[in-house]
Amino acid sequence: MGSSGVIVELQRNSNSWTKVGDEIVKMERKIFPKHESLARFFDEELKKKNAGLLYMEMDGQVVGYVMYSWPSSLSASITKLAVKESHRRHSHGEALLKGAIEKCRGRKVQQIVLHVDPMRSAAMNLYNKFGFQVDDLIQGYYSSDRPAYQMFLDFDSN
């Protein structure tokens, strides 16, 4: 793995909550279009009982993060995965996704679901590498002219 960062699970009441949260909100605003960004809802998302966040830290700064949730005992979802543009292509996304999958597996869920823009080939390649399969194309998922693939990873078949 080309990653030299440290993956940390964000704890709700940790001293780093505000600093890390602020860095992630800045990344959300820079990376995602406004209507896709969780920047305004970041705190509310992570206050949910069944939500988690892993982030990668390098030299004291957040360079990537993955948000996940397990709404039921059967399935989990990856809700966000992002790496700063300057830190891409160094396996950080791979390390974060692997960490989130392990966290979800630890919850004994049978499946992880996510949505991805079919035009984001790097993301598609990453998810395919981990065995995610396209389930459906959802028209208008991101906006009226931007669909999403719904992808899934089954554990009971592994």
Work out how many domains the chain is built from and give that number: 1
Q: What is the CA radius of gyration of the chain?
A: 15
Q: Which DSSP category does 29 fall into?
A: H
The model's pTM: 0.84
Query: Of 2, 6, 117, which Cα lies nearest the Cα of 64?
Result: 6
Spatial contact of 33 and 82, defined as CB atoms under 8 Å apart: no
Residue 128, domain member (yes or no): yes
Spatial contact of 101 and 7, defined as CB atoms under 8 Å apart: no
Question: Tens-digit pLDDT profile for the chain (158 aa)?
Answer: 444 678 778 776 667 777 888 888 888 888 777 777 666 667 677 777 788 889 999 888 889 999 999 888 889 999 889 999 888 888 999 999 999 999 988 888 899 999 999 998 999 999 999 999 999 999 988 888 889 999 999 986 44
Which range marks the domain in which residue 25 is found? 6-154
Helix, strand, coil abundance in the chain, percent, nearest 5: 35, 35, 30
CATH of the domain at 75: 3.40.630.30
Residue 1, domain member (yes or no): no
Cite the DSSP H helix spans in the chain: 17-31, 42-47, 92-106, 121-129
Q: Which DSSP category does 71 fall into?
A: S
Residue 149, domain member (yes or no): yes
